[in-house]
Amino acid sequence: MSRIDEFLNGVRTVAIAGHVNPDGDCVGSCMATYLYLRDNFPEIEADVYLEHFKPEFRFIEGIGNVKSRLLDKDYDLLILLDISSKDRIGVAGSLTEKTGKILCFDHHVTNREQYTWLINDPQASSASEVVYRYMDPDKISEKCAEAIYMGIVHDTGVFQYSCTSPETMRIAAGLMEKGVPFNRIIDKTFYQKTSLQNQLLARTLMESIQLFGGKLIIGYLKNRDISFYGAVSTDMDGIVSQLRNTAGVEVAVFMYEKEPGVFKVSLRSSEKVDVSAIAQKFGGGGHVRAAGCVMQGSVYDVINNLTLYLERDLV
C-alpha cells in the first residue's frame, strides 16, 4: 500500500501515539497524521496520545485535543510514529495488546518490532518524512504541512545532520509551497531557548570533560542540580548537539540523572562511530549518528562503561 488512505478501509476509530519524552519529530509526525485524518476523513474518530511536550509546540493546530491519559475505548487501528521499540510508547502502550491492526511509521535502525504493517526507513531523516511519503500531497493542508515541517526541522537539526537527503529538501520545498511559516517554526521551536535551558547548557559545557585526545566529550547533570533548577527533561534538549559542535569531537555524550543512580544517556557521533550499536549494548537504541539508553550507577560508572566500548572506535 502506498497511501495512508488505503490502510483506512473499514476503519472508524484510530489511536495515534508517539514515544515518551516526545521530541519535535514525534509531535510533528503524530499531529500531521491526526490533521491528515481530520481534514480528509471526517467520519473517522481519531485520538492522539502524547506525554508532556515543550510549550513551543503548542502552535500546532489541534494540539489542544491531545490526550495524556488513556481513554477507556477500543480502536480499530493504532498508528505509531517514531517509537523505535514498544516499551517506549508510554501512555498508549497497552493498546498494542488489544488493537487488531497496528500501522507503524518509523526511521529507527533498531526497530525490529512485529506489527500488522511496519514502514521503517532508517535512511529517512525523520518519522515525519516517512509518513509524508504515505500522504497524498494534494490532501495535505497548510496546518498539516506545518507539523511535518517542524518534525523534519527538528530531526535534521535544521537540515544540517547527515540524515538530510535531497529528497528531504524536496519535501521541505513542497511544504514551503503550502505556505508554512518556515522561519518562525525554525526560530521559535528549534533555536529559541528559555533562560533556564541556557543556564543548564552553560553549566553542562563548563563542567564537561574531554577524553581520547578530545575525540570524546562528556557532559552531565546530576539529580541535585536538576532539582535545584526545577528542570524537566525537555529543558535539556539540544545540549548534546552543542557538545558535539566542539572542534575535534567525534562522539558527544550527555547524561542526566533522572532518579538517583539512573542516567538517561544521549549519544551523538560526527562521522565514524555507530552510536546506535553502543546504545544497544546498554538496552537502548536509535540511529547511527544519534542514539540513547538508560544506565545505572554513578557518573563515573557510566563513563567507565561507555568508554570501554568507545575506546575501540576512538583510540
CB under 5 A: which stretch of 112-120, 153-161, 176-184, 289-297 binds Mn ion?
153-161
Least CB distance from residue 106 to Mn ion, whole Å?
A: 8
- 122-151 binders of Mn ion (CB under 5 A): 126-127
Q: Closer to Mn ion at the Cβ: 135 or 218?
A: 135
Cell of 190: 528549534
Q: Closer to Mn ion at the Cβ: 11 or 240?
A: 240
Least CB distance from residue 142 to Mn ion, whole Å?
A: 23
Residue nearest to Mn ion (CB): 25
CB under 5 A: which stretch of 120-128, 198-206, 237-245, 292-300 binds Mn ion?
120-128
Q: Closer to Mn ion at the Cβ: 175 or 226?
A: 175
Q: Closer to Mn ion at the Cβ: 265 or 303?
A: 265
Least CB distance from residue 290 to Mn ion, whole Å?
A: 9
User: In the stretch 270-289, what mask flags binding to Mn ion with x, by CB under 5 A?
Assistant: --------------------
Cell of 281: 549494548
Q: How far apart are CA 289 and CA 278, in angstroms?
A: 11
Enclosing H/E stretch for 302:
helix 299-314
Least CB distance from residue 25 to Mn ion, whole Å?
A: 3
Output DSSP code: residue 253.
E
Other CB atoms within 10 Å distance of the CB of residue 114 = 8
Alpha helix (H) ranges present in 178-261?
182-186, 195-206, 223-229, 239-244
End-to-end CA distance of the chain: 47
Q: How many amino acids of this chain bind Mn ion (CB under 5 A)?
A: 5
Query: In 3-state terms, what secondary structure has residue 294?
Result: strand
Output DSSP code: residue 271.
S
- 14-33 binders of Mn ion (CB under 5 A): 25
Least CB distance from residue 292 to Mn ion, whole Å?
A: 12
| Residue 160 half-sphere exposure toward CB, CA atoms < 13 A | 10
Q: Closer to Mn ion at the Cβ: 123 or 304?
A: 123
Q: Any idea which residue has 539508553 for its cell?
A: 293
Least CB distance from residue 295 to Mn ion, whole Å?
A: 22
Q: Closer to Mn ion at the Cβ: 56 or 82?
A: 82
82 binds Mn ion (CB under 5 A): yes
Strands 77-81 and 117-120: unpaired
155 binds Mn ion (CB under 5 A): yes
235 binds Mn ion (CB under 5 A): no
Cβ burial, residue 260 (10 Å; 0-12/13-18/19+): exposed
Give the distance, in angstroms, between the CA of residue 34 and the centroid of all CA atoms in the same chain: 17
Residues that bind Mn ion (CB under 5 A): 25, 82, 126-127, 155
